[in-house]
Amino acid sequence: MKNILCTGGAGFIGSHLSERLIKEGHRVICLDDFSGLEVSYDHKWSNISDMIDNAKQYRLIQGDIREKEYLKIPFEQEKIDIVFHLAAKTGVRPSVQDPILHCKVNIIGTINLLQLCARYNVKNLIFVSSSSVYGNNLHVPFSEETKADSPLSPYAATKKAGENMCYVYHKLYGLDIICIRPFTVYGPRQRKEMAISSFVKKIYNGEKITIFGNGLNRRDYTYVDDVVEGLILALKYNKGYEVYNIASSNPISLSTLIFLIEERLHKKAEIDYSPMQPGEADHTYADITKATMNLGYLPKVSIEEGLTRYIDWYLNKELKILKD
């Protein structure tokens, strides 16, 4: 059993990762400030409700990674073996509106964590970055060797800065760090403003949806279970400093996504077209050769199966709310 600190562990990916780590026999120390865009305290609490009573394998610490007095608690009170760093201010559009907040959390918070890892000799860290670091690169699919020096949003810039700081601390203090770049993650518990969750809810309720652009922009949608699998594999092969894409490597257009949702809900979408928003990339498409060769990563959940799983989860959740 390893003691694993998971920052942002009550969030979308973090809660799924925590469940998997517990299932594999590890002990998870979750540090989360229970904030987030359109995320209520109750929402995050429900994410971890099945783990909170498992005192042997789960501990919750409520705190902000910008505040060292909270962040150092797990390092002082637990013998941390491994750190998964997922805590961040997310969202391209919100980062355009409040770049300073994103910089403080995503850069200063990451540096705080790296300093504590160095001070307490925690050598093993997996940093969850973002596919947004690639910007609108014309060379597709994006490989880890593709230049990632033209971010389109403050959020993307802070994630690339986080990767750079991870490299610095690897060189200075010998930390073994893998930076994971997930591509457009979706699934149960995802944030309400994300495309799939927003589209499913609105189409189901007969509300108009908004498409930014002409519907032809493509995204490499990746089911959350595949992302968690990539993180688990990173844990097993973490040595030195590496960057890996974790994705389905099968991008589809926004129009195709909407058709697949309509097909599963047996409802037709009402669509309002608007101009592309500042900071949004035209396309994302991952080359996962490196992750496949070095980690043994292979995505298992197709977009068709993933959407079916998500919509089943959403409908069961809505029915439960209606019954209650």
Of the candidates 245, 105, 256, which has an alpha carbon nearest to the alpha carbon of residue 185? 245
User: What's the rounded Cα separation, in Å, for the pair 282 and 215?
Assistant: 10
Pairing between strand 252-253 and 218-219? Answer: antiparallel
| Cα–Cα distance for residue pair 249/133, rounded to 1 Å | 16
Options 155, 169, 221, 285, the catalytic residue: 155
Q: 106 near 218, Cβ under 8 Å?
A: no
Residue type, 132: S
By the 8 A CB rule, do 86 and 159 touch? no
Q: What is the distance between the alpha carbons of residues 221 and 253, in angstroms, rounded to a whole number? A: 10
Q: At what angle do helices 154-173 and 109-119 cross, to 10 degrees?
A: 10
- The answer to whether the beta carbons of residues 244 and 182 sit under 8 Å apart is no
Separation of CA 53 from chain center: 25
**What letter does residue 283 receive in the DSSP assignment?**
B
Do the beta carbons of residue 226 and residue 164 sit within 8 Å? Answer: no
- Known catalytic residue: 155? yes
Write the DSSP symbol of residue 2.
-
Please give the Cα distance from 154 to 86 (Å, whole number): 17
Alpha-carbon span 60 to 31, nearest angstrom: 6
Tokens of 25: 């026999």
State phi, psi for 40 to the nearest 5 degrees: -90, 160
What is the C-alpha to C-alpha distance for residues 240 and 130, in angstroms, rounded to an integer? 20
- Identify the DSSP state of 153: S
Catalytic residues: 155
